[in-house]
Amino acid sequence: MTVAFGSVPRLAYLVAALLFVLSLRGLSAQGTARRGNVYGAVGMLLAVAVTAMSALHGVSGARGALELRIALLGAAVVPGAVIGALVAARVAMTSMPELVAILHSFVGAAAALVGIANYLDPNRETGALHLTEIAAGVFIGALTFTGSVVAFAKLRGTLGSKPLLVPGRHALNALMALSCVVLTVIFLAEPAPGGILPLVAITAIAALLGAHLVAAIGGGDMPVVVSLLNSYSGWAAAAAGFMLSNDLLIITGAFVGSSGAILSTIMCRAMNRSIWNVVFGGFGATPAGGGPTPGADRPVRETSADQVADLLRAAKSVIVVPGYGMAVAQAQHLVQELTTILRERGVQARYAIHPVAGRLPGHMNVLLAEAGVPYDIVKEMDEINGEFSTTDVVLIIGANDIVNPSALTDPSSPIYGMPVLEAWKAAKVVMLKRSMSAGYAGVDNAICYNENTLMLFGDAKKSVGALVAALRTGW
């Protein structure tokens, strides 16, 4: 019994889609995340291989046509694979948010270019539905491309983290969106190839809209923005799938788009914000109210590594709250060594993770897993918030906004209402910071001035290293 080649891609795409489902399932928990990554990689490898085979199948015509197509595929796939492997192997975990953002831009650019190329294809479908798919794919793709580039620049520090608030920005956004709708109607009415001008105009306006939307979002909301751009890239891929009649692109894009939207919603709930408030609110534009600004003359209690080591030796329970400062200092391995020492001496040591800690969803979890921290002592905010009041020492390493009591006590604060890790309820709080500067959201942290808070200033890696040395020599 022979099987027609036309059924092979469909079967392979079905298998790849199942692998993507298993990948998402695996990525839902730290213990199975590695396996989930493997499933996703195998599924994508299968999809690329079958797509390449489909592109080469049945090629006929002038001599050398098959060789030319193989050369073109090789010129696209091989450099891309090599560059991707090198970047993935060399990127630091602290740079992972920027890498994710720029990868989203590639997906958006691809969707926009596929839409334009599909319209220019003389053999394409000519129905209104297909033209609408092209316009939608180009719009989402262009918006995702420029939005991701701006997010990359903000995360990298090339652009400032403060939101760019243009007067009348909401009206301007609405005008750009409405213009794209009007241009789509014109595009549908124009016979080919006359519709290329409105299509290019849609591309340009959508690109401007994407850049403006993300530029107006403050740095404190970047974790949500990265997740939201992930959703956009998924819908862009799904739109490209409709244009190309590719079932796997449609399925995969829908997976990515819906999972990114769900994750963005979960993160917004963790910040007590609506998704619309994040996208259009310009959060972080004004300084925190209800108290002195960072650097004002307020008393803090500075400590030393030896004094903190004495506190840890006397403690029975310790909670570590990691933040982006730990990631920047690449101190996760030393932090893991610190908690290992404590646990070997019978101290109950755990980690508390806020949903938006760092600049990428799950950033802290990945860092701790990389350092070999056992999964069972890494607790989410809802799991551990009730345990701070019975904890002897809390070590806050490079975190700021996620432990700010102003979120619960100061109605004038921009982060008021955001659920936070209630670290200040512990008997002693030790905060490791480089200086008294505000966090990424630009909000001063009231926890620094509490009577039970000690400040250990300096680079997180050096400070934790000094703590480890003090514990090893003095215990």
Show which residues are catalytic.
401
Cα–Cα distances in Å, from 365 out to 154, 201, 324, 379, 402?
22, 42, 12, 10, 15
The answer to whether 259 touches 243, Cβ cutoff 8 Å, is no
C-alpha to C-alpha distance for 263 and 230, rounded to whole angstroms: 10
The answer to whether 190 touches 108, Cβ cutoff 8 Å, is no
Decide: helix, strand or coil at residue 297. Answer: coil
The answer to whether 367 touches 394, Cβ cutoff 8 Å, is no
C-alpha to C-alpha distance for 26 and 18, rounded to whole angstroms: 12
Cα–Cα distances in Å, from 383 out to 351, 355, 371, 388?
11, 12, 22, 11
The secondary element (H helix, E strand) that includes residue 185 is helix 169-189
Provide the phi-psi class of 346: left if phi over 0, else alpha when psi is between -120 and 50, else beta: left
C-alpha to C-alpha distance for 16 and 246, rounded to whole angstroms: 13
DSSP category for residue 385: G
Query: Rounded to 10 degrees, what is the CA torsion of 175, 178, 179, 182?
Result: -160
Question: Which among 384, 155, 355, 359 has a CA at the least distance from the CA of 268?
Answer: 355
How do beta strands 428-433 and 453-457 pair?
parallel
